[in-house]
Structure 1
Amino acid sequence: MKYPAKAHALKVKSHFLSKNTDKKDENFAFFIAGANAAPYAYCDEFAPLRQNRYFHYLTGIEQIAGAFILFNVANEKLTLFLPNVDEDDIMWSGLPLSKEDALKEFDVDEVYYAKDIETTLKSLKDSNYKIYTTDTDDYAKLPFANYVIPKDPVFFYALDESRLIKDDYEIALMRHAAKITDNCHMAVMSALPIETNETHLHAEFIYHSIRQGSKFQSYDPICCSGPSCGTLHYVKNDDPMDGKTSVLIDAGAEWKCYASDVTRCFPITGKFSTEHLSIYNAVKDMQTQVMENVKPGIHWDDLHFLSHKVLIKHFIDLGLFHNGTAEEIFESGVSVWFYPHGLGHLLGMDTHDVGGHANYDDPNPMLRYLRLRRKLETGMVVTDEPGIYFSPFLIEKITKEQEKYVNKEIVDKYMYIGGVRIEDDILVTKDGYENMTHITSDPYEIEKIVQKGLAKGREGFHVIA
């Protein structure tokens, strides 16, 4: 079965016309460039190709650089332009995809080469077509750049709204990405005898991802231990783990340009400490209560508020918050300094996928970093990823009005944990949700996995010196 490029183009047409009802009788087309091979500065090596996601949405093409796609809205014909054949490059890179094979592989109506673009677009322009594109960054100096209309906001709206709702084909790809990611997280939990540095966590995840056919990650893995678990997008990934108790790994494999995004935490010793388990269970409860309320029509803001209220209840029970009711503490906003990020985000071809309507200028700090600000709809895929963090940087931001609610003496006892985040990938269905993530998040099952790996010992693993 081919990637449904034609169906995607028709969705974009529908959303575009919904905002441009006056254009129904006009001739127009959509034109998007694929990614070009990008050289590293001052050398003859190239960066790995990351395909333009809008181009991929209308083609299904992953690893072909320098291609273009044209959708003639009037006759609904989808035309692929392959890069021109470079005879000299065949010796180095082998034969490129032929037009005939491309027509068989991709859901397009016709295939030409890039050398035919100028003639094709000029013909449309001469016929009073308006040709909309995202940008001309990769071909601004070529003549046909003058025939297109870049950066039209309605065109971006149409692309984003189309990508927002996943079809069955896309969901199947995302389920497979999630399955690969499950196995990778399981492998990391199981291999502690050979994981004495955060780099080893990173390496173990990547190794098992590639072994399963996923050569690319949805994002750079976050692999942290101890107090560093309180850094939300930790990128160092190379501190020793000796003397620490907690691990947080946020990593997701990519499958055919579709992302997964999963976070798991586990104890280095194989046994959660009292404080670590208390915070883990609080985050687990936050995630579970949110998940149970996922359904079409509910606003993501409301689920985010719910997760804060669950955090506050647990903090009161643990003595971390005091001197106020749950409602007073919620209204003060103090929970933001222990849970500063948003509940989750849309997921698709991008880890933080398009269409979320985020408002990073929101005056409410509880909502400022929320990447999804709309009602849920059937076919959306979102991450449910609450967290609790003990970061000196964040605690310094607690205001004088808020500090009366914080029992600093108790908070100090939790600082060594750094933070806990649990993240699953959730498909919104017509009746509720489907959790596509299946690696366990039960703390006692996690302990058993880690303990089994520890019992196996170093002699059970192949260690590269």
Structure 2
Amino acid sequence: MENGPIELQGIKYPALTHALKVKSHFLSKKPDSATTSAFLIAGESLKLYPYSDQCPPLRQNRYFHYLSGVDQIGGCFILFELSSNKLTLFLPEIDYDDIMWSGMPLSIEEASSKYDVAEVLYADSLASKLESLHESGIEIYTTDTNEYKDKSFASLVIAGNEDFFYALDESRTIKDNYEIALMKHAAKITDNCHLAVMSALPIEKNEGHIHAEFLYHSIRQGSKFLSYDPICCSGPNCGTLHYVKNDDTTQGKESVLIDAGSEWACYTSDVTRCFPINGEWTKEHLEIYTSVLEMQSTTMAGIKDGCSWEDLHMLAHKVLVKKFIEFGIFKNGTEDEIYKSGVSIHFFPHGLGHLLGMDTHDVGGYPNYSDKNPMLRYLRIRRPLKAGMVVTNEPGIYFSPFLLENGLKNPDHAKYIDMDVVNKYMYIGGVRIEDDVLVAQDGYEVFTKITSDPKEISDIVKKGLAKGKEAFHVVI
């Protein structure tokens, strides 16, 4: 892989291995289907913006990519026949009128050499292939027919089968060594981007500059796509969990929160760091930051194969309650009473983290957003962890007027909140610390290496400020 992980150079993306994993999970649900089933998934196709001759960037269908390894080619299909374990890639037909604009597309010979498939054909042969399978009694399972609903062969497939989705999601949940190498590479790029943002305060006068700095360094390292729209916020804006305006001034603020990750070959990273704008932590900012750091380190110590993610999430709440009693934010109750009341959700409303892979909020976590328990409602992993999963560990503490308004409306919660003390922390907005973590048999491995130590962060920011504008690639 060019410019990618050195250990993967010359090695194909393990598409067939992935197909066999999906087959195994599928047969666990449909044991009599080994000789009577096939899988078909369409890749994403290029689509024009409305009333325009331009296309948005191609974001490859993740299920298709998992079974093919094909990224920036639109209009493909992948077919897996369970009886023979044959994986066939169908490329779009050559549009000769487009060659002068876009160049020659990948040939069948080049694709056969590049991808882990038994055969490569053009998509104009797909209909006859599916008709032949259908006539021989093969049931063809797919995710959906969105890319080809107007084609004749759309009637030959079974779309949306829950057993097929189960098989796909369970397979994607456990990462193999190839996927882990891609994710580590994405995390390495992301580390460098976060370091650059912390170091470049002299040219970062608003949140948009922070966004631009991260994106600049991501592209410079070969990652043209971010995992998601970055969250670049300052001061009270840090209290909005998925803040994406990224356009407010940083002047007169004390705190910055940046939640951003780079992508590599369709695999994501997801990292959040916070820092003081002038390099000096205020008393309140440092108290909240070190509290979140303790929430993360306490829960991190419990990550291993078989552990309960729900228990770790609740442990983070317990740490928050203990620290808030120390600061005087919570009052009128014992740690146990305040914890059991659920009042902490108004300061830590989201889940401890989520699965990570080809999607930022990856499949297989089985969240329950209708859970009557508000402390668990937004938890995106509702299953024990397994070795080979990659998760984010991202506790946070927020001082949001919206969240506090809801808390104060509930007398069973309001009695524990000392608003005179809370008001001293409102200028911070919020703190979140997020790292990408591989679950191991007896522990964990953290992919992200950018420091979260408050002293080291302070030193990085101060060093950048000392250099001044002339030290950077652009002066704005």
Q: TM-score, normalised by structure 2?
A: 0.97
1:305 aligns with 2:314: yes
Matched letter for residue 192 of structure 1: L
Counterpart for residue 442 of structure 2: 431
Counterpart for residue 6 of structure 1: 16
Question: Distance between the aligned counterparts of 1:154 and 1:455, measured in 2?
Answer: 58
Question: Distance between the aligned counterparts of 1:112 and 1:144, measured in 2?
Answer: 17
- Tell me by how many angstroms 1:148 deviates: 0.7
3-state DSSP of counterpart to 1:441? coil
Q: Quick check: 284-293 or 400-409, which moved more?
A: 400-409
For residues 35-184 of structure 1, what are the structure 2 equivalents within 5 Å? 35-184=44-193
* Deviations 1:145-200, CA, capped at 9 Å, x for gaps: 11111111100000000000000000000000000000000000000000010000
1:21 aligns with 2:31: yes
Matched letter for residue 469 of structure 2: R
* Deviations 1:367-386, CA, capped at 9 Å, x for gaps: 11111110000000000000
3-state DSSP of counterpart to 1:248? strand
- Tell me by how many angstroms 1:463 deviates: 3.1
1:403 aligns with 2:414: yes
For residues 235-254 of structure 1, what are the structure 2 equivalents within 5 Å? 235-254=244-263
Question: Distance between the aligned counterparts of 1:27 and 1:266, measured in 2?
Answer: 57
3-state DSSP of counterpart to 1:95? coil
Kindly report the root-mean-square deviation, in angstroms, between the aligned alpha carbons of the 2 structures: 0.7
- Tell me by how many angstroms 1:243 deviates: 0.4
3-state DSSP of counterpart to 1:356? coil
1:461 aligns with 2:472: yes
Matched letter for residue 320 of structure 1: I
3-state DSSP of counterpart to 2:306? coil
Question: Distance between the aligned counterparts of 1:38 and 1:271, measured in 2?
Answer: 48
Matched letter for residue 127 of structure 2: E
* Deviations 1:384-435, CA, capped at 9 Å, x for gaps: 0000000010000111111111111100000000000000000001121000
Matched letter for residue 364 of structure 1: N
* Unmatched segments (≥5 aa) in structure 1: none
Question: Distance between the aligned counterparts of 1:348 and 1:326, measured in 2?
Answer: 37
- Tell me by how many angstroms 1:23 deviates: 2.6
Question: Distance between the aligned counterparts of 1:453 and 1:390, measured in 2?
Answer: 28
Question: Distance between the aligned counterparts of 1:121 and 1:182, measured in 2?
Answer: 46
* Unmatched segments (≥5 aa) in structure 2: 1-10
1:358 alignment partner, one of 367, 379, 395: 367
Counterpart for residue 272 of structure 1: 281
Counterpart for residue 4 of structure 2: none
Contact 2:469 2:475 in 1 (8 A): no
Question: Distance between the aligned counterparts of 2:20 and 2:470, measured in 1?
Answer: 57
* Deviations 1:75-100, CA, capped at 9 Å, x for gaps: 00000000011110111100010001
Counterpart for residue 212 of structure 1: 221
Contact 2:203 2:475 in 1 (8 A): no
Question: Distance between the aligned counterparts of 2:375 and 2:154, measured in 1?
Answer: 43
2:397 alignment partner, one of 380, 383, 388: 388
Matched letter for residue 336 of structure 2: E
1:34 aligns with 2:34: no
Question: Distance between the aligned counterparts of 1:462 and 1:129, measured in 2?
Answer: 59
Counterpart for residue 453 of structure 2: 442
3-state DSSP of counterpart to 1:140? coil
- Tell me by how many angstroms 1:41 deviates: 1.0
Matched letter for residue 29 of structure 2: K
- Identity across matched positions, percent: 66
1:337 alignment partner, one of 318, 331, 346: 346
* Deviations 1:23-58, CA, capped at 9 Å, x for gaps: 34x411000000000211111000000000000000
1:322 aligns with 2:335: no
Matched letter for residue 438 of structure 1: K
1:225 alignment partner, one of 224, 227, 234: 234
Q: Quick check: 243-252 or 453-462, which moved more?
A: 453-462
Question: Distance between the aligned counterparts of 2:269 and 2:473, measured in 1?
Answer: 28
Contact 2:36 2:83 in 1 (8 A): yes
* Deviations 1:329-382, CA, capped at 9 Å, x for gaps: 011100000000000000000000000000000001101111111000000000
Question: Distance between the aligned counterparts of 1:298 and 1:248, measured in 2?
Answer: 30
Question: Distance between the aligned counterparts of 1:371 and 1:462, measured in 2?
Answer: 40
The alignment covers a number of residue pairs equal to 464
Matched letter for residue 453 of structure 1: G
- Tell me by how many angstroms 1:464 deviates: 4.6
For residues 366-385 of structure 1, what are the structure 2 equivalents within 5 Å? 366-385=375-394
Contact 2:145 2:159 in 1 (8 A): yes
Question: Distance between the aligned counterparts of 2:159 and 2:211, measured in 1?
Answer: 39
Counterpart for residue 452 of structure 1: 463
Matched letter for residue 379 of structure 1: G
1:185 aligns with 2:194: yes
3-state DSSP of counterpart to 1:22? coil
Question: Distance between the aligned counterparts of 2:80 and 2:204, measured in 1?
Answer: 50
Matched letter for residue 213 of structure 1: G
Question: Distance between the aligned counterparts of 1:333 and 1:28, measured in 2?
Answer: 49
- Tell me by how many angstroms 1:20 deviates: 1.1
Question: Distance between the aligned counterparts of 1:80 and 1:353, measured in 2?
Answer: 25
Question: Distance between the aligned counterparts of 1:459 and 1:98, measured in 2?
Answer: 48
Question: Distance between the aligned counterparts of 2:447 and 2:471, measured in 1?
Answer: 31
3-state DSSP of counterpart to 2:411? coil
Q: Quick check: 451-460 or 185-194, which moved more?
A: 451-460
